[in-house]
Amino acid sequence: MDRAALWLILLGVFLISATCDPVKKYLLVSYQKKKVDIYSFYINSTVTSRYVTTVITSRVANTLNESQEIQFEVKIPKNAFISKFRMVIEGKTYDGVVKGKEEAQQQYNQAVSRGQSAGLVKSVGRTLEDFKTSVTVAALSKVTFELTYEELLKRRLGKYELLINAQPMQPVADFKMDVHIQEKPGISFLEVKGDLSTGDLANAIKTTRADKDAWVTFYPTQDQQTKCKSCGENGLNGDLLITYDVERRSPKGEVVLSNGYFVHYFAPSDVPRIPKNVVFIIDRSGSMHGRKMDQTRVALLRILTDLDEDDHFGLITFDSEVSLWKRKLCKATETNLENAKSFVKEIRDRGATDINAAVLAGVDMISRHPREGTASILILLTDGDPTSGETNIEKIMANVKEAIGTKFPLYCLGFGYDVNFDFLTKMSLENGGVARRIYEDSDADLQLQGFYDEVAVPLLTDIQLKYPGGTKLTKTSFSLYFNGSEIVVSGQITDNSVESFTTEVIAVSKGSNVTYQDTIMTKDPSDVPPEDEDFMQRLWAYLTVKQLLERQVLLTGQEKEDEKKEALKLSLKYQFVTPLTSMVVTKPQEEEIEVAEKPEEVGMEQTDHDDILMSMPITDMSSSYYDSYMDVPDTYVSQTETMFTTMFTTTLYTTTSPAVQEVNRFLLDVVGQSKPLCFDIPVPHKLRLLQDSASEFSMNGESLSEQNGFHQIAFHYKTNHHLMINTKSISYRNGQDNVEFLWGQEPTQYNADSVSLVVREHVMNVTFGNISVVILSHKKDGVMFLWPAIWEYSKDAKLTGVLGKADISYKETQGSQTPILKIKDKEVKTSLETVSDYRLHSTPVRECWLVPFQALMEAEISDFTVTQL
Ligand SMILES: *[C@@H]1O[C@H](CO)[C@@H](O)[C@H](O)[C@H]1NC(C)=O
Ligand SMILES: *[C@@H]1O[C@H](CO)[C@@H](O)[C@H](O)[C@H]1NC(C)=O
Ligand SMILES: *[C@@H]1O[C@H](CO)[C@@H](O)[C@H](O)[C@H]1NC(C)=O
Ligand SMILES: *[C@@H]1O[C@H](CO)[C@@H](O)[C@H](O)[C@H]1NC(C)=O
Ligand SMILES: *[C@@H]1O[C@H](CO)[C@@H](O)[C@H](O)[C@H]1NC(C)=O
Ligand SMILES: *[C@@H]1O[C@H](CO)[C@@H](O)[C@H](O)[C@H]1NC(C)=O
């Protein structure tokens, strides 16, 4: 180990002990574990006709002889709406109240301006959302938390999936999970899976089946709670996934009536499949490079294998140019499929993204070969914005809409987070399809194939559902119905005193028109009333709100406002936490307020684009439970060589420079020299601070003109890791997890494959692969700013960027009046300056030799600027 390395380590120790006290913080964590006793944790899910109401109740005791903060954190499915949250402390009940977003925000802002910390209750994973709150509980007192959420299960590939996450954070003496499923037509199969059903825990699961009911109970002992694959010292940590389907005796579907509301589930399966014409439009632009392109090829090869012989298909790849495998649709014969597979294997990424030309080519291909009695489907897969040809999104949408002319649906699959998902959503909704997000992950090929599987077997087209005795209906017309999915319509019954209720479905089957008519007696004596009589009304409200929210992207002006108002009205009436509402939770301490909101996904206007209800009866594929959550223990051990390179600081040229100009002053330590070099870069700017092309790592920083340092620093690693740090919060996403930290919070860690994030009070330690960087948050004159310092990187890494310069040496030349340094055999004029060393929390002042940036870097500043963080 060389001297610089040793110095760095010593400095590291100093840095940490100077900025926060890790020993104390970590003590706090383990001591909390002992002094907070979660003595009971119940999860109670009731499913009535696919509508799930889940209540999580956690009873916690503060066993400490002083008051302390007690946390409640649970994960709920993204598709669900929270509808109730309650805390009971010392016999007093504190209920969350759902309010319009603006009203809630006002209340929240007032609370903040009064200095009461108003925490937030959100964070998003791939299939789950995080609900987190805390409350101060008096010495030796108890608190009960109760959270209720509701959702309608969607049928996908022939089954419903009910996902329940359990992670109470410690083994619990009295842990119970009760699931009761009530399905009027009977349950055809039921399976319990998920990581909580593995190992010793499997013995804690009991399934009881009756004709129309199923009960799943999961009562693990405290000991068992530490003994599953994903469980540990902190007890249960994982999911239970209950999959089931219902009996379908009548192709006319199932109608459930209750208290003046009805729901109609329509999912015939004994209908011949309709041959399909499917055109795949595949983005092969440069951004698809690497794993995305590989996974797309793998998925396409499998999809081709699955085509039926009477299907016709086309393949289009595009970047700035559009390539057709064949000019017209081809029958899925063995020879054609073999040729197509060879074509797929040769798809290579290159160039820009001309979505407009590619989609129009696809439309043209289908339109030119109309075939009677078939179902046509256009599938666009892209990972980016249109960057070539027509790039105006409005124009592309207008072109596509005109070309398709409601003849067939367009499905858009957005790969990763760099896509303009709003654009894809709108374009697909306008053309009778849906947009799906394909998460960048190891299972992306399975996600692609899963989507295809859902649309693989069209059974009906142009489906219209009619309910003469119904009103306030949810969506009643659908362009396609696929085997394994389900069409759901709910509404109110106009006259509740009538004795019968009629449903009618008109659709086009393989080459012929079909009608399904059904009449149901409203008073069926064999009916067992559901546990919750109101569930049907809530189901109707849930579906209506979801659909109104989905339609928002398509609407403009008054109509949009009206529908928004209606969705808000229903959300408030049924106390759903939707994108339009927030739940205000008032805590006992000085009326402290927290606001629970439906989290938005990055780059999305609303949360539920995956919902199928707009036009298509296919279900949400992202609800398959491949969600691995945070806190995966990290086994990656860094094999890095510790080295030290640069540090930097900001200064104001108020006295020395005639033209007053603000700069960021960067410091460059030089091995063997006592004085570091420094150089200035004028602000504001967005700089590439550090880049390692080999490991696809980059760190960029943005500075503002009125501020020291950086107000934002972004990291990108591989294609899917993005870390954004600003002066308030830190958010990290990797296509699967979406994690938020706050500066000043308790020490928190996130670890996953070759990624480690450690947030302490003023310091964050970021490790991506072999590169570790420390980010400090400072406060000067009341203004927060950020400072990066490179901590470690592999000796072999070839770092570039403003902080990437490592191999610098200089000599002081004696004798001249102006000090001159010799850097790489060049003489450079310099002056001795002082700067604050912001790498340390104590910010000591140091002397440095100031040299021109160009002389040091042998490049222009513009070579280091970026347009986007
Ligand atoms: C679960 O909820 C149902 C409906 O609210 C209720 O009837 C039942 O008693 C609850 N079960 C448990 C174990 O709390
Ligand atoms: C709790 O603290 C109070 C005051 O600090 C003290 O009088 C009392 O003895 C303590 N009780 C226990 C059980 O430690
Ligand atoms: C539709 O799915 C059902 C059950 O999954 C199956 O029995 C039936 O054969 C399928 N229909 C077609 C046309 O593939
Ligand atoms: C189906 O019905 C529509 C009108 O309802 C009619 O135009 C069409 O010809 C019918 N198709 C067949 C195959 O009967
Ligand atoms: C930052 O993380 C790296 C890798 O996990 C570790 O070696 C280093 O000691 C950490 N530094 C600090 C300051 O915590
Ligand atoms: C770390 O660096 C070594 C040497 O350059 C390399 O072999 C290894 O793959 C790197 N590990 C990661 C996780 O990037």
The CATH number that applies at residue 54 is 2.60.40
pLDDT at residue 818 greater than cutoff 80: no
At residue 7, the pLDDT reads 36
Asked if residue 136 is part of any domain, the answer here is: yes
Task: For residue 76, give Cα distances in angstroms to 73, 172, 244, 520, 598.
Answer: 10, 20, 19, 36, 11
**Could you give the angle at which helices 355-367 and 393-404 cross, rounded to 10 degrees?**
0
Same domain, 683 and 802: yes
How far does the centroid of ligand 3 lie from the alpha carbon of residue 376, in Å? 20
For 438, the token pair is 């394909």
pLDDT at 669: 83
Write down the H helix ranges in 72-170. 101-113
Domain co-membership, 261 together with 285: no
Indicate the number of domains in the chain.
4
Considering the domain architecture, whether residues 518 and 563 belong to the same structural domain is answered as: yes
Work out the average pLDDT over 39-61: 96
Cα gap 481→266, rounded to integer Å: 10
**301: containing domain:** 276-456
Q: What is the pLDDT of residue 795?
A: 76
pLDDT of residue 532: 65
Specify if 619 maps to a domain: no
With a 6 Å cutoff on the Cβ, whether 695 touches ligand 6 is: yes
Do both 75 and 182 map to the same domain?
A: yes
Query: Residue 409: which pLDDT band, with cuts at 50, 70 and 90?
Result: very high
Closest to 172 in 3D by CA, of 226, 222, 239, 220: 222
Which CATH number covers residue 385? 3.40.50.410
d(CA 779, CA 783) in angstroms, rounded, equals 5
Q: Tell whether 786 and 658 lie within a shared domain.
A: yes
* Complete DSSP assignment for 210-251: -SSEEEEEE---TTGGG-STT-BTTB--EEEEEEEEE----T
**215 and 323 inside one domain:** no
Q: Are 708 and 837 within one domain?
A: yes
Same domain as 312, residue 230: no
Q: Is residue 834 domain-shared with residue 716, that is, in the same domain?
A: yes
Tell me the two tokens of residue 502. Answer: 């009629």
The pLDDT score that the predictor gives to residue 289 is 85
Q: By the 8 A CB rule, do 680 and 664 touch?
A: yes
Domain's final residue, options 544, 573, 602: 573
Q: Which two tokens stand for residue 532?
A: 């919750």
Report the 10 Å Cβ neighbour count for 73: 16
Identify the nearest ligand to the CA of 52 by its number. Answer: 1
Shared domain check, 450 and 370: yes
CA 287 from chain center: how many Å?
Answer: 20
306 CB under 6 A from ligand 1? no
Binned at pLDDT 50, 70 and 90, residue 490 comes out as very high
Residue 273 Cβ inside 6 Å of ligand 3? The answer reads: yes
Decide whether any atom of ligand 5 lies within 6 Å of the 765 Cβ.
yes
- Residue 585 domain-assigned (yes or no): no
- Whether residue 325 lies inside any domain: the answer is yes
DSSP letter string, 734-792:
-SS-EEEEETTSS-EEEEETTEEEEE-SSEEEEEETTEEEEEEEEEETTEEEEEEEEEE
* 773 CA to centre of ligand 5 in angstroms: 8
Whether 591 is covered by a domain: the verdict is no
What is the reported pTM? 0.66
Question: Residue 836: pLDDT above 60?
Answer: yes
Assess whether the C-beta atom of 188 lies below 6 angstroms from ligand 3.
no
The answer to the question of residue 519 being in a domain is yes
Ligand 1 binding pocket includes 217 (Cβ within 6 Å): no
Identify which of 461, 455, 458 has the alpha carbon closest to the alpha carbon of residue 506: 461
Rounded to the nearest angstrom, the distance between the alpha carbon of 485 and the centre of ligand 3 is 11
Structural domain ending residue among the three candidates 573, 596, 630: 573
Question: What is the Å distance from ligand 2's center to 65 Cα?
Answer: 6
pLDDT, position 524: 67
What number is the average pLDDT over the span 500-524? 89
Q: What is the mean pLDDT of the chain?
A: 81
Residues 722 and 796 in one domain: yes
Quick check: CB of 770 below 6 Å from ligand 6? yes
Whether the per-residue pLDDT at 322 is higher than 60: the answer is: yes
Alpha-carbon distance of 385 to 360, in angstroms, equals 16
Domain finish residue from 406, 430, 456: 456
User: Does 784 fall in a domain?
Assistant: yes
pLDDT for 631 = 23
Any idea which ligand is nearest the CA of 64?
Answer: 2
Per-residue pLDDT of 539-553, as tens digits, reads 999 999 999 998 888
Q: Is the CB of 267 under 6 A from ligand 3?
A: no
Is the pLDDT at 476 greater than 90, yes or no?
Answer: yes
Q: Of all protein residues, whose CA lies closest to atom 2 belonging to ligand 4?
A: 513
> Please, which pLDDT band fits residue 527 given cuts at 50, 70 and 90?
low
Spatial separation of the C-alpha atoms in residues 221 and 512, rounded to whole Å: 58
Ligand 3 nearest atom to the CA of residue 158, by list position = 5
- Residue 30 Cβ inside 6 Å of ligand 4? The answer reads no
pLDDT > 70: what percent of the chain?
Answer: 85
Is 610 inside a domain boundary?
no
pLDDT tier at 8 (50, 70, 90 boundaries)?
A: very low
Q: Which atom of ligand 5 is nearest to 640's Cα?
A: 7
**Residues 408 and 485 occupy one common structural domain:** no
Write the pLDDT tens digit of every residue in 731-752. Answer: 998 888 888 888 877 788 888 8
554: CB partners within 8 A, 6+ apart: 426, 429, 430
